[in-house]
Each structure stands twice: as structure tokens, then as C-alpha cells.
Structure 1
């Protein structure tokens, strides 16, 4: 009795599943690893070696910041709390906040020392203050990362200091950046601060996108000899946020130019379309042995999709379900799917749900429906 029923719909596009790829004309980049995601629909606009283990350098600090933000949000620590500076933290090389051994530094200053000044010393102060040792804190970073879905991330320190076992992927960094933006909107504006002064030493934010790319507001740069120059960056325009990860570039200048170019490409080539509202009926599905012949099909939430601008005119949208759908049916039951296809993009398949309850027919009604189907082939 069940048949695969297809209904073509004109001019519709709906919400892409998380981290769905939206193919476009080939984008070339000298970055060794890269991924660009539209966070409004969690659509991957571009990727290159996004799942390859890589040296994250100071982009590691985003995980340190995440754990500190989490402590703040839960009330386990406060901005005005002070953490002690050990000799190990004071002696730490690389980029520095310039804390002094024996000092006690406010958490609010340490955050800016990490976010704005990329201070390796500040990372150790935080790690030792929250977990006694940096090694214990790194183990906590790894465990929490696994819980968050950072499947390929292993941390050996809080700063991204070179270690052969300290690795992340561009995709993991993108997910971490997204979590920082979504989980801690109250703290995220810290990433857009342009400079910070501590111990009479003022340093500018290393993010080359701030003040250059419209809407740019974070997140973190990184550099080591092995990793090259990298960046986790984000920008928002007209409610649409893009998140970029690049790594393996050869200079600060190339990092700045390539990051800006890829973000501009993403905003220019793609658009997010809202095509159906929650509860809006898109089609009717036939019902088998129900007290109504059809049931409306709708979406459980506002439906959006990110597509190449040129793809929208050529896309084909179909409602597909195995039908007639047997009663009883409850509102919200997933009974169909929407399939969207267009040239040069992967097919999108999205759930459609019943818009209302449909009760099963009584005994006599079911008999007449079955007889009608046997005689005329009408399964409604």
C-alpha cells in the first residue's frame, strides 16, 4: 500500500543540517588548513584539510578562555578575584602580558592579557590558579574538548607552546569558536577590544581583521614555526555571522590579507534565505484510514538555508514521503522530508512534521476504506 510519493514545490529553500557543505566555485587559498562556516545555518561554505591534525599555536588559548568563561558563568570565580603569579609563569617565553612573580592579578586583567595580548604567562597563571598545575589544566582542556565534540584535539598546555602531542584541527577550532560566541555572549565582546595596558605596557590586539573587515569582532591569532600563521576570525553583517579558521600561512601580512579575502568572499558569494516560518503549511500528505484524508506538512522551526546566490534560481524542491501515511498521526510527528537540489551543491534533506493530529477511523470506516482501495486503488 505504501508508495514513495513526491510533490514538487517551486521557490522553496529550507534550513540546512549542522555543518552541511554548500559547494561553490573553487576557492584557492595558500592556507594549509582552512574552513569557513556560516553560523546562521551551520553551513560549511569552504574547507581545505579541515580534519587534518595541525599545530594550533596560540589559537589554543581559545580553550583556556572557554574554561575560564565557564567558571565565571557558573559563579565559581569572579572577575575581581586575583590569581597568584608563579616563577614558572613569570619566566614563560613568547608573547607576554608581563606579569611579575609574586603578584596577584585580577581575572579581568588575565582575560584581557590572554585575549588581547596573547600572553603565555597569563595562560599559566590561569591554569595554575584553576587546576594547581598546567599539566592538570591541559588534561581538563582535553577532556572538556571531547565532551564538546572536539574529536581530534589533544592539549598539552594552556598556551599552545610547541609540543609534538599538542594538536587540533581547523574544524575543531571552528566548533570551539562557535561555542565561545554562542555560550558566552556576555563575555564575547572582550575579543573586540583593540588594546590593553598592564604594568604600564600597552599592547594592541593582534587580530588583523578588527577595524578592517566590516563586522569583525574576534577571535584569536596564532603563530609558531611549525604551525605557521593562523587565525580564528568572525564577522557579523545584517544578522549573518561567518566564522573562519586558517592556518599554515607564511607571514602576518599573508594571514591578514587571506583572512579578509576569504571572509569577504563568503559574504559576497552566499546568502541565507528564510523561506518558511514555523507552523507554515508547505504541502498536504495523504492519510490512510484516518478521519481526515490529508494532513498538513510543516516545519518545526523557522526554515533557512545558505546557498550560493546564483543557485537559488535553479534549485528544485520536492516533498517526499512514504504514503499514504497510516493514522493515527500526532502533530509534530516526522512523516515526510523536503529534498532540495541545485547544480554544484550537495542535496539537502530536511524533516517535515505533521501540522495537526489525525485520528484513526472507526472499524466500519476502515472497512470501507480498505474496500475502496481494493476496488479502485484509492488509498485515501
Structure 2
């Protein structure tokens, strides 16, 4: 690794090979027939592709991600258990659209209802869960919206638990991607439901509607959606070689287009980009000069492993610059901020990451400071 020393900046070669710094990539070199789309490498929180990703759109059954988030949260907090049974109201039983085929006045296990929503996209199962958690579907939808805002979904509003068409029921591709990420990160113990390919209830076997689960491309979730107004949509997640991508597409013209276009975009994301490890947490990046310290330098480091996602073709042109206001005055405690890394690559805005001291550096005693001051007067700062 080549190091170029400057008084206030040290440029580190980009050939150093995570979770860490999001580095927005250059404009995408692929187009999509989806009306709205976003593809994110969540390993480094890097957007690889976006198209109308902040545009409000009807989300149809992809809205059920928020419904299940609320259910998983209730499980984690102990307000529900997988073995609890919930009653089926006439409202739930009469619900149209995709169904789990719940029986009127029956009591159904929560675990079965979750599978009914996740695998079979059952509108009836959604209403059973909503009424149990909030008393009514409307009250549940209000809680969905409030919780979504707390999670950072600023452009989402829910009027029901199912995604049933309503002009005031909407989200965005970016919001759904964030929701998918939070669902996986907050409830890893329950995420396995999304990779199950089929579920039988009431002697009716239905397959998971996510077409990418049946293709060998690393997909393990999440949810499809379709209405006449929204078109065909999918929120998908794929894990390959330690990298996780989340894709949201909507407005596709057919089920086949949804399957093929989603697979094409995920394959492109894995093929054209990679996540590169720059520095490990605690690893000495460079020695920074110290003024009036018991040691003349202190190693700079990062507090967490630092990765960036880049187009493979851009890696040779990446630069990492360590900027410090050196010399740093002692005393210095391990973990004290002492500068920043500036990461640049072609066509991208610079990304700044704080660096800290990797060790303690006590202040010199009186005699040491006197000697250092004398040397400074005689030889200057370069001594």
C-alpha cells in the first residue's frame, strides 16, 4: 500500500481490500421496465440502482411486510406467542382477494396465521391478526403508520392491514427496502418464514408467491404484490458470499416480467459490484504525529470494520485520504477522535468516516515539555 505523506493529509492507495461506510455509487448503467425500483447492498448501505424510488405508489400486498413487522414485534415483546390462538371474525372470513381460507369463528394458531400471510398472502389472516392486536383493522392500520414513521418510513401511509386498494394507502420503493432491512435485522429469529415455499391449511396447499425462491440465486424472501393500479411488484432479498442485496420493484406488466426482471437486476447487482474491506476495527491505519506526548505518534484506526461497495471497474481508481490536524496535542485517550478518512471514487461524492486514536498517549512531564519546547524554538516544527 502506497502512502503519500502531507502535513495535514495522508493519501492511502485504494488497492486495500464490513459494515461501515455507505458510498453512493455512480449512476446506474442498467435500466429497468419497472415503474419504480431500488436495489441496495445492505452490507454497506449502498444504493446500486434507483428509479423513481421516492415516488409514492400503491404497494398492494407488499404492505403486508408492515403487518408482519407489527406481529413479530408483538412476539418479541411477549404480547403474543406462536402458540396463541386467535378468533376469526365474520369480517376476516368474508375478506376477498388472496386468502388463507380461515374458518368462521374458528381459533387459529398465530404461527399458522403468520404462514398464511407470508406464504399465501392471505388477506383474511391479516385481518385476524390486526383485530387481535388492535381491536379493529382500522386501529391496527393507524398503529402501522405510526410505527412506520418511527422506523424512518417517511413516505408511507397505511389504511388497512392487507394492501387493499385505497388512494391514501401508499409507500415508496425506498421505504419498502428500509422496512425489509429492519424486518430482517430486528427479527432474525422469525425471518425463516419468508423462505418457506409452501403451506397447507384447511387441506389447501398453496405455494409461496415469491417466484425467486424457486431460482438458485440466493433469494430468501420477501413479498410479492399485485393490483390493477399498482401492477406487479416484489420486495426481494438475496444473500450471496456474505453480501445481502434488497430489491424493490413495482409497476411491472405481468407475473413473468416480475420474475424475470427481478432476477436480472439481482444478478446484475452481484455481478457488477462488490464490497471491499478497507480496514478492520482497531487496525492501525497510519501513525499520526503527537505534540508534547510521551510517544511521538499515535496510531489512527476506525471503530468498526470499514467496507465500501463499488462497481468492480471503479476499484483501481478509489482513493482513501486520512485527514488530521497533526500534530495532535497530548494527552490522548484511546478512542478520542483525531481525524477522518475521506473516500472518493470516479463520479461519486466523497464519503467521510471518523478515525480515532488506537492507544493512549500521556502528556510529557514538565522536563519533557521543556525539552520539546526548546527543540521547537531551535529547530522548528519539523524537528
TM beyond 0.5 = yes
Alignment of 1:326-341 (within 5 A): 326-341=329-344
The TM-score with structure 1 as length reference comes to: 0.94
- The answer for the alignment partner of 2:199 in structure 1 is 196
The answer as to whether partners of 2:320 and 2:344 remain within 8 angstroms in 1 is yes
- The answer for the alignment partner of 1:159 in structure 2 is 162
- The answer for the alignment partner of 2:3 in structure 1 is none
- The answer for the alignment partner of 1:17 in structure 2 is 21
- Residue 4 of structure 1 and its aligned partner are, at CA, apart by 6.4
Determine the C-alpha separation between the residues in 2 that align with 1:258 and 1:213. 15
The TM-score with structure 2 as length reference comes to: 0.93
The answer as to whether partners of 1:317 and 1:341 remain within 8 angstroms in 2 is yes
The answer as to whether partners of 2:28 and 2:48 remain within 8 angstroms in 1 is no
Determine the C-alpha separation between the residues in 2 that align with 1:146 and 1:368. 59
- Residue 350 of structure 1 and its aligned partner are, at CA, apart by 1.4
- Residue 14 of structure 1 and its aligned partner are, at CA, apart by 7.6
- The answer to whether structure 1 residue 65 and structure 2 residue 68 are counterparts is yes
Could you list the per-position Cα deviations for residues 193-232 of structure 1 after superposition, in whole angstroms to 9, with x for gaps in the alignment? 1111111221111101012142111000011122211110
- The answer for the alignment partner of 2:87 in structure 1 is 84
- Specify every segment of 5 or more residues in structure 2 that has no aligned partner in the other structure, as ranges: 1-5
Shift in CA distance, 31/377, structure 1 to aligned 2, threshold 3 Å: farther
- Residue 362 of structure 1 and its aligned partner are, at CA, apart by 3.1
Alignment of 1:352-363 (within 5 A): 352-363=355-366
Alignment of 1:1-380 (within 5 A): 5-10=8-13, 11-12=15-16, 16-18=20-22, 20-23=23-26, 25-378=28-381
- Residue 303 of structure 1 and its aligned partner are, at CA, apart by 2.1
Shift in CA distance, 69/25, structure 1 to aligned 2, threshold 3 Å: closer
**Secondary structure at 1:178 match in 2:** helix
Aligned length: 377
The answer as to whether partners of 2:28 and 2:49 remain within 8 angstroms in 1 is no
The answer as to whether partners of 1:324 and 1:379 remain within 8 angstroms in 2 is no
The answer as to whether partners of 1:150 and 1:175 remain within 8 angstroms in 2 is yes
Determine the C-alpha separation between the residues in 2 that align with 1:24 and 1:52. 18
Determine the C-alpha separation between the residues in 2 that align with 1:57 and 1:377. 70
Return structure 1 stretches of 4+ with deviation > 4 angstroms: 13-16
Determine the C-alpha separation between the residues in 2 that align with 1:362 and 1:156. 68
Could you list the per-position Cα deviations for residues 235-283 of structure 1 after superposition, in whole angstroms to 9, with x for gaps in the alignment? 1112211111111111111111110000000000011122322221110
Could you list the per-position Cα deviations for residues 281-330 of structure 1 after superposition, in whole angstroms to 9, with x for gaps in the alignment? 11011112222221101121222221111111222221111221122211
**Secondary structure at 1:102 match in 2:** coil
- Residue 23 of structure 1 and its aligned partner are, at CA, apart by 2.1
Determine the C-alpha separation between the residues in 2 that align with 1:152 and 1:377. 58
The answer as to whether partners of 1:215 and 1:236 remain within 8 angstroms in 2 is yes
